[in-house]
Amino acid sequence: EAPPAGEAPTASTDVVPPLPPPPPLSAAEALSRGEALSKAGKGDEALPLLDRALEADPAGSTGQKAAALLAVLHEAKGHPRKALGFRLRSSLSAKDRAAVEAKAKDLAAAALGPTPSPDDLVVTVGEQDNTLGAIARRHGTTVECLKRINSIPDVNRVRPGQKIKVIRGTMRILVEKAAFRLTLFLDNVPVKTYAVGIGSEKKTPASSFVIEEKVPQPPWYPPGRPAVPYGSPENPLGTRWMGFRPTAEFSGLGIHGTSKDNSIGTASSNGCIRMHNGEVEELFDLVPRGTFVEIRE
């Protein structure tokens, strides 16, 4: 029916509610779909589904099967380090695990050195990416990492046409409190292990964190007291500080160096992870902000 003369039609005020998002796939559903895509030759489409299945059930049979399939797919893509990392996360016999771990040691030795591997990139310094800073920003790494793995003595003397190795992969850190050990993983392959000190009286929580802040030569800000400058005997942070993003439960924690080398291997800090200065400097160079840290008992 038409509106009365002189009156404009009015728009409906009924609001159509948006459709609810689909429920997340279970580990079994993600595995089933990923496996079907893999068999159909659609490996790139299968990868995120298999990743989902693994993360949803890392220790179960579904996750273990997903890890094995991910290893096969990355091997086919020419990514041996990623493939090996997923094999390490899959169910293996004792004999096969020993063989994989032996190969992992070889890959670990090469990962942080100047020799390129199929998993990594080699970029050429050019007109656009003409500094290590520009290359680091483009590829989600750090200038210090590029400098270290390429043995570059002076970041200001990078020349056009120079070949730069860039690590392409995901780094994460695992701290095992009982062993006083920190392990750096690259694509699930352990590449460096360091001795650490932890908090006294269980002050270091078993929890997960993300590195948010990186400060060389850090000052220390004790609660309720003036800042203590870097280099002061009262500053316990050593030469580097990597602060964790605060969580709902914990704040003020991180990884740092120490001048008290005898505290490494002991539970004597106020909750942070302590490292020898030379070793925390290496770790600081290698890991970017956003690196995931897991602390276990």
Q: Annotated catalytic residue: which of 79, 139, 272, 276?
A: 272
Amino acid present at 200 = S
- Give the separation between CA 233 and CA 10, rounded to whole angstroms: 76
Sign of CA dihedral 218, 241, 216, 239: positive
CB 180 within 8 A of CB 198: yes
- CB atoms under 10 Å from CB of 262, counted, come to 9
CB 218 within 8 A of CB 290: no
Q: Annotated catalytic residue: which of 74, 79, 256, 276?
A: 256
Helix-helix angle 27-39:61-76, to 10 degrees: 30
Sign of CA dihedral 108, 112, 114, 116: positive
Cβ neighbours of residue 20 closer than 8 Å, sequence gap 6 or more = none
What residues are paired with 273 via a beta bridge? 255
Please indicate whether residue 79 is annotated as part of the active site.
no
Please indicate whether residue 256 is annotated as part of the active site.
yes
What residues are paired with 176 via a beta bridge? 181, 296
Look at residue 114 and give its three-state secondary structure.
coil
Question: Among candidates 129, 292, 139, 117, which has minimal Cα distance to 209?
Answer: 292
Up-side HSE of residue 152: CA atoms within 13 Å toward CB?
21
Ordered DSSP codes for 148-194? HHTT-S-GGG--TT-EEEE--S-EEEEEETTTTEEEEEETTEEEEEE
The residues carrying an active-site annotation are 256, 272
